Structure 1
Amino acid sequence: MPRVFITGLGFITSIGNDAATVTRSLRELRHGFELYPPFQKPEIPVKVTGTIKGFTADTPDQEDWTFPAAYKIKRELLRTMAPNGLFAQCAMLQAVADARLTEPDISNPQTGLYAASAGSPFLLHYHHDRLTKLGVMRCSPLGIVASIAGTLNFNLIAAFKIQGSSCGFSSACASSAHALGYAYDDIMLGRQKRMFVVGAEDGNTDAILPFAGMRTLSLQTDPNLASRPFDAARDGFVGTGGGVVMVLENEEEVARRGVTPYAELLGWGQASDGHNVAISHPEGSGSAASMTNALRASGVAPAEVDYVNAHATSTLIGDISEARALRTVFKESLPKVAVSSTKALTGHGLSLAGVMESAFCALALRDGFIPGNAHLTQLDPECEGLNIPCTTEARQAGIVVKNSSGFGGANVALVYKRVT
């Protein structure tokens, strides 16, 4: 069966907008949180988000948006985008350059693109408001493609002239992890030789604040205390946006083009909790099953895993559920498996999380470090027994597992291997 490798990465995140800055943030545990100006009102209890620096996309008029001059985006493309589309476009340009892809490499029937996004509640609300207040003929003809859940697919496929497989994934916070899994399958089955996997979210008021109604967002006013996965004092997650792109290729293409991969994607697994529309199974049964399925599909024993990049979002129930799942899967090997959640630095990117954190794993595997779990001062007693480093470890992992979970108990685990 064909092997699948990561050959390119692109980042627009709260902890950096390029691989070098992101790597430094992961090594030094530099978070991307700030007091978010739109939240600094008495009636809004949430104050902190993971902000995207160097970009301004807070109006419905794309002509007013600002972004780094290095990115050249034609006006006709920009007019069809949501903020998440802007982030994704810039991350895509990075990933293409990083993988050293030419236009013929990108635009052919053997190269596809899978994307994950919730769409743009911000623009959807704006255009619907115009519809009801001003009438249908006062609505932008581009409002639909700029705002609905498939906006990433529409824009990126058109902009980069993608001819292969294309699809959007919607499984909440497991979305881009599902996209990675199915992209892997397409390459393994010989359907495609190369896949772009994209995750992006607006990260603004309309995208983040509704989660406060679910009582899942942190109410901390100190950015240094707001995201604390596995900590006894955690009180919810911190929202963030941005865009991340990963390029997956088969072994034949890697050899033909002479590129050095970041890491190999060995396999993946998924499972559902069958428990609750929004709350993880208390024993983490679905998460445990997804990890077990992923390890079996990858031919990896639990004892061979060096690091788990946890989904842990800093919520009261979710972190404990995942801790129990890890105990179930790793058993006597648990003390040797390092576990951390990089959401302590970035916040929770929602459907972006799976591909963003997988890209972090690729950097760690290539550069020989294990990210620490920032802001952990008092371990929740329910998480005792987990090997959670509070600082980044300068040691090489060989096998890494990335967990993702979403509403409805959708769980995905991905297994990555160091390239030697």
Structure 2
Amino acid sequence: MAAVPVITGLGFITSIGNDRASVLRSLRELRHGFERVEFFGNPALPVKLAGTVKGFAFPSPNWRDWVWPREYPIDRETIRGFAPHGVYAACALQQALADARLTPGDVANEDTGLYCASSGSPYLLVASTNQVYAAKGERVNPMGLVSSIAGTLNFNLASHYKIQGPVAGFVSACASSSHAIGFAMDEIRLGRARRMLVVAGEDINAETVLPFAGLRALSSNPDPATASRPFDTRRDGFIASGGGVALVLEDRALATARGASIYADLIGWGQAGDGHSIAISHPEGAGLRRAMVRALADAHVAPADVDYVNAHATSTPIGDRSEALALRAVFDGSGRAPKVSSTKALTGHALSMAGALETAVCALAIKERFIPGAAHLEQVDPACEGLDLLRTTLDTAPRVVLNNSSGFGGSNVCLVLAAG
């Protein structure tokens, strides 16, 4: 009989809170995490808001100048290999291990693996490359490579925690951390690991955010209360955010044997490509529809059994419409439409971290018996009509939940969680 993966630990460093309690409060009360920003000291830039991470500061590329909450010890040798999002992720992982009642010694074995997701750190990559240019190649930061490229999280965390099971990083843009969770589930189900740590992180700075302005994907709305409004007819793009999120996945038998508290079961997942565009969702959500159908089949769940969908919806006109059509294709005719919301209305879009963040939110919703509402939604786009979009948080316990993610190139992932 295949092992059942369960979630036993969560860690949050996010725009809406830096621990489980504050994130839960923000979700229940629909508190967003947006603040005014002025990148490069240039007020002419159209990007006015970001989902900022409070209590951290990275004023220069030099780690000696960095500030983070001192309840999270990070030694000198470790932090030298980190990017800013590595600091976020390390703090989130310390939280998640403590939440799961595990020590670093408990994960330094062949039964524990680590899957990570991040897009790397353009901030440090630029600094390191400029140093090479300035010195005409005669001086190179020895940690410049491992601190800046997309695998930086798995390089550093696997080494620090002495992980001996499967180790990998996933790069599928905004679907990256959902892929990490899906493949981590399979490691446990196939008996290749008994415990998997999934960690995701993103810098939140000009170098990470502004390239999306070139794609016209970011909102130019300066009002934090209305800028991120998935499914609303007046949406004009997403608000970028960053931080770090960590989840502890375990074989249910292992978790039960050690008396761990379980947030939710991970009962299925599916993925599919759009085969359409490098950056734009399929106009009818074809790939996401297939991913949801495959996930439900893997989970042996009927559409009518789904209580809640945490949508990928980022607040872009094309993306939200595409997902709405995919959701209607899956759930119309099922006899029971699930509640739908996108918590990016509160958190902003955390890019490759988004899937891990929203899976953690879904696990929290199952455990704490609520369904987060769709904040800032006032006028539903007619193209998104037909979905049961929440305006407020419900004190209703969801039993089966879907989490959707989509990324560049048409990568689509759907994860299915259930109450144990």
CA drift at 1:39 = 6.2
Matches within 5 A, 1:213-228: 213-228=214-229
Aligned mates of 1:194, 1:135 — CA distance in 2 = 46
Matched, 1:343 2:358: no
Q: In 2, are the aligned partners of 1:263 and 1:365 still within 8 Å (CA)?
A: yes
SS of 1:71's equivalent in the other structure is coil
Aligned mates of 1:386, 1:312 — CA distance in 2 = 13
CA drift at 1:12 = 0.3
Q: In 1, are the aligned partners of 2:331 and 2:337 still within 8 Å (CA)?
A: no
Cross-structure match for 1:369 = 370
Q: In 2, are the aligned partners of 1:334 and 1:386 still within 8 Å (CA)?
A: no
Aligned mates of 1:317, 1:410 — CA distance in 2 = 16
CA drift at 1:260 = 1.4
Aligned mates of 1:51, 1:166 — CA distance in 2 = 29
Aligned mates of 1:336, 1:267 — CA distance in 2 = 20
Q: 1:178 to 1:34 in 2, by over 3 A?
A: same
CA drift at 1:40 = 5.7
SS of 1:332's equivalent in the other structure is coil
CA drift at 1:306 = 0.2
Cross-structure match for 1:299 = 300
Aligned mates of 1:137, 1:416 — CA distance in 2 = 52
Q: In 2, are the aligned partners of 1:326 and 1:334 still within 8 Å (CA)?
A: no
Q: In 1, are the aligned partners of 2:202 and 2:353 still within 8 Å (CA)?
A: yes
Q: In 1, are the aligned partners of 2:57 and 2:67 still within 8 Å (CA)?
A: yes
Q: In 2, are the aligned partners of 1:112 and 1:162 still within 8 Å (CA)?
A: yes
Matches within 5 A, 1:8-407: 8-38=9-39, 41-333=42-334, 336-407=337-408
Aligned mates of 2:112, 2:45 — CA distance in 1 = 45
Q: In 2, are the aligned partners of 1:307 and 1:370 still within 8 Å (CA)?
A: yes
AA aligned opposite 2:45? I
Q: Percent identity?
A: 57
CA drift at 1:203 = 1.3
CA drift at 1:211 = 0.2
Aligned mates of 1:135, 1:43 — CA distance in 2 = 34
Aligned mates of 2:106, 2:257 — CA distance in 1 = 11
AA aligned opposite 2:127? Y
AA aligned opposite 1:361? C
SS of 1:136's equivalent in the other structure is coil
CA drift at 1:287 = 0.3
Q: In 1, are the aligned partners of 2:7 and 2:248 still within 8 Å (CA)?
A: yes
CA drift at 1:79 = 1.1
CA drift at 1:58 = 3.1
Aligned mates of 1:198, 1:225 — CA distance in 2 = 30
Aligned mates of 1:143, 1:334 — CA distance in 2 = 55
Between 357-366 and 126-135, the greater mean CA deviation after superposition: 126-135
Segments of structure 1 that go 5 or more residues without pairing to the other structure are none
Cross-structure match for 1:412 = 413
SS of 1:56's equivalent in the other structure is coil
Cα RMSD of the aligned pairs, angstroms, is: 1.0
CA drift at 1:104 = 3.5
CA drift at 1:199 = 0.8
CA drift at 1:334 = 7.2
User: Could you report, residue by residue, the CA deviation over 1:221-247 in whole angstroms, capped at 9, with x for unpaired residues?
Assistant: 111111010000000000010000000
CA drift at 1:134 = 1.8
TM-score by length of 1: 0.98
AA aligned opposite 2:298? A
SS of 2:138's equivalent in the other structure is helix
CA drift at 1:376 = 0.4
Q: In 2, are the aligned partners of 1:313 and 1:319 still within 8 Å (CA)?
A: yes
Q: 1:189 to 1:110 in 2, by over 3 A?
A: same
Aligned mates of 1:75, 1:387 — CA distance in 2 = 50
Q: In 2, are the aligned partners of 1:327 and 1:334 still within 8 Å (CA)?
A: no
Aligned mates of 1:39, 1:349 — CA distance in 2 = 21
Aligned mates of 2:71, 2:103 — CA distance in 1 = 19
Between 136-145 and 36-45, the greater mean CA deviation after superposition: 36-45
SS of 1:336's equivalent in the other structure is coil
User: Could you report, residue by residue, the CA deviation over 1:122-158 in whole angstroms, capped at 9, with x for unpaired residues?
Assistant: 0001111111122323221111111011100111011
CA drift at 1:332 = 2.4
User: Could you report, residue by residue, the CA deviation over 1:182-235 in whole angstroms, capped at 9, with x for unpaired residues?
Assistant: 000000000000000111000111001110000000001111111010000000
Aligned mates of 1:244, 1:167 — CA distance in 2 = 16
User: Could you report, residue by residue, the CA deviation over 1:273-309 in whole angstroms, capped at 9, with x for unpaired residues?
Assistant: 0011110000000000000000000000000000000
TM-score by length of 2: 0.98
Aligned mates of 1:400, 1:418 — CA distance in 2 = 9
